[in-house]
Amino acid sequence: MRRVFAWFRSHPLTTIFLVLIGFALGTHLFSNWRAEVRWQRYCAAARARGVKLTLAEFAPPEIPDAENFAALPMFRAIFTGGVQSPMELPRGNGWPSIPNFGDMAKGERLDWKAWQKHFKDVGFIAKTTDSEPQDVLLALDHYAPQIKEWSEWRTRPRCQFPLDWKAGVGMLLPHCGTLSDATKLFSLRMRAHLALGDPAMAYMDFQDGFQTYRALQDETTTLSAFVQRRAVEGLCRSVGDGLMDRAWTDSELRMIEMDLATVRLWHDYRRAFASERAANNTTYDAFVAASPTGRWNLYAASLNGRPSPPAMKAIKFIPKRVFRDNQLRHNQWLDEILSRVSNDASRFDPDKAAPSGPKNWSSSMDLYYFFLFRISTSDFSTVDQWFVFTQTLLDETHLAIALERFRMARGAFPEKLAELAPDFIAELPVDTYSRQPLIYRRKDGGTFLLYGVGKNRTDDGGGTLDSKKSEMNQIDDIWLYAPPPSK
């Protein structure tokens, strides 16, 4: 021992260097340990609140094939590398590749001539007639085998797709594209049947399109919730198209109302973010457990072939505490986001603060230290706005259905929305932004104005549309499918 101390005394610079190295290493190990302790304390408290922190905790029980909509041959093929887009509408060579479904913010309705020409150009019909909607229906017979197979949802009431729950944020979801395609296909069929005066068949199409929402009700991924939301939007617009033309009967509107009453967007929102937490935790845990080279391999795999910024090569050398602290901050932010949904998932508070989020960081150190959290949340900046818009559109659809049923029964629209309850609607929906009933005015010519205040929380009159903006970005959230005033 004396020799050791003698050596230290005779080599002071080396001794100082070794002490500094030892201090740095000790500080590094201690900081990693403290970060791990903070994370484990959070985990214990979260689990005590019933929070699921990993994707494995979301894995559902097995469903017998005979009851499982996801066991259809088309979905088996999708997951095994067979036909990937069995319900996709045909794409032409020009731009846009398919006609749109109309843009009511610009005053444009679905163009039947454009769809008729498109289907002739792609070879789905050999010749055209004077009835564009009839030709579109004939063209859609191209999908008759898929539609017949899809209709088995009526005897397969449950759904569980074969997802790899261990893959974290890298979990593949090839079925979501087909579900989105199916909604578009059935929406087009629905509008064609309405245009031909067949609301009974249009309702059958509505139910087939609504199966996209049903099929994903128990699936815990963010993308699944987005597909559900888009399906609800598309179906509400298609129903609205028929309401504008007064093409529905009271019987079909009653059934549509019962179907739409099962939509629980805030439950879907909460499920999406809860599963997002689990997927990210799975990824964070994998990075913490991996070697430096293993971390780079995990990151490279997540890019799916996209080029990586050169600076991200430093991910090999990031201390474990940085991953754990980013993971902790990410989970705290998700707690705040999820608290915006009421306990019964019936209401949402878009103004409730989320102080852990990047928007509230004032320190530049936060921006640099929590860069992993910031990168992983960059795509979620408008999620709340999208869901609120869809909820408002859904609420307006409920009211528009009730208004049309009231008109059919009483001969005119009501003076006030309060006249609809309880005979035509159980209760009046409340605007998410204003926390007041949606704004309604009966207008001359047998029409009405219905709208929510929009994201600026201000009643701007609901009568002005900006054709340069999308429906969601209008100054008020206007129901665009009121019937035109009679001349």
The predicted pLDDT at position 165 comes to 75
Radius of gyration, CA atoms only, the chain? 28
> How far is CA 81 from each of CA 74, 133, 331, rounded to the nearest angstrom?
11, 35, 35
> How far is CA 346 from each of CA 236, 264, 277, rounded to the nearest angstrom?
19, 7, 21
Strand 447-452 relative to strand 477-478: parallel, antiparallel, unpaired? antiparallel
Q: Look at the chain and report how many structural domains it folds into.
A: 4
> Considering the chain, what is the average pLDDT of its residues?
88
238 compared with 384, residue with greater pLDDT: 238
Q: Please name the helix (run of DSSP H) or strand (run of DSSP E) that holds residue 198, with its range, or none.
A: none
> Which burial class, exposed, middle or buried, applies to 336 when counting CB atoms under 10 A from its CB (0-12, 13-18, 19+)?
middle
The predicted pLDDT at position 373 comes to 83
Residue among 237, 259, 234, 264 nearest 396 (CA): 237
Mark residue 227 as left, alpha or beta (left: phi above 0; alpha: psi -120 to 50; beta: remaining). alpha
229-259: per-residue pLDDT in tens?
999 999 999 999 999 999 999 999 999 999 9
> Is 60 exceeded by the pLDDT of residue 4?
no
Residues 262 and 152 in one domain: yes
84-134: per-residue pLDDT in tens?
889 999 987 765 588 989 988 888 899 999 999 999 999 999 999 999 999
Quick one: tokens of 114? Answer: 């454009």
Residue 172's pLDDT band (cuts 50, 70, 90) = confident
22-81: per-residue pLDDT in tens?
656 666 566 778 988 899 999 999 999 999 998 888 888 889 999 999 999 999 999 998
Quick one: tokens of 202? Answer: 């249009």
Examine residue 287 and state whether it is found in any structural domain, yes or no. Answer: no
Residue among 281, 169, 272 nearest 222 (CA): 272
- Which residue segment(s) compose the domain that 45 sits in? 2-50
Residues 251 and 313 in one domain: no
Residues 192 and 92 in one domain: yes
Residues 366 and 390 in one domain: no
3-class SS of residue 24:
helix
Strand 439-443 relative to strand 447-452: parallel, antiparallel, unpaired? antiparallel
Cβ–Cβ < 8 Å for 219, 277: no
Residues 79 and 190 in one domain: yes
Examine residue 279 and state whether it is found in any structural domain, yes or no. Answer: no
Q: What would the 3-class secondary structure string for 206-241 be?
A: HHHHHHHHHHCCCCCCHHHHHHHHHHHHHHHHHHHH
Examine residue 104 and state whether it is found in any structural domain, yes or no. Answer: yes
Report which residue type is found at 487.
K
Residues 345 and 232 in one domain: no
Residues 92 and 27 in one domain: no
Residues 371 and 389 in one domain: no
Examine residue 262 and state whether it is found in any structural domain, yes or no. Answer: yes
Residues 264 and 347 in one domain: no
Residues 347 and 423 in one domain: no
3-class SS of residue 440:
strand
Quick one: tokens of 454? Answer: 């929009």
> Which burial class, exposed, middle or buried, applies to 292 when counting CB atoms under 10 A from its CB (0-12, 13-18, 19+)?
exposed
Examine residue 55 and state whether it is found in any structural domain, yes or no. Answer: no
Examine residue 436 and state whether it is found in any structural domain, yes or no. Answer: yes
Quick one: tokens of 419? Answer: 């006249």
Q: Which residue, of 361, 378, 395, is where some domain finishes?
A: 378
Q: Mean per-residue pLDDT for 165-178?
A: 81
422-443: per-residue pLDDT in tens?
999 999 999 999 999 999 999 9
Q: Mean per-residue pLDDT for 190-212?
A: 98
> Is 70 exceeded by the pLDDT of residue 313?
no
327-369: per-residue pLDDT in tens?
999 999 999 999 999 999 999 999 998 888 887 777 777 777 8
Examine residue 16 and state whether it is found in any structural domain, yes or no. Answer: yes
The predicted pLDDT at position 438 comes to 96
CA distance 315 to 309: 11
The pTM (predicted TM-score) of the whole model is 0.89
Residue 222's pLDDT band (cuts 50, 70, 90) = confident
The per-residue DSSP string of 353-386 comes to: --TTSGGG---HHHHHHTHHHHHHTGGGTTHHHH
The predicted pLDDT at position 20 comes to 64
Quick one: tokens of 218? Answer: 């128990």
| Beta bridge mates, 451 | 439, 478
Q: Which residue, of 360, 378, 396, is where some domain finishes?
A: 378
Quick one: tokens of 446? Answer: 């047998």
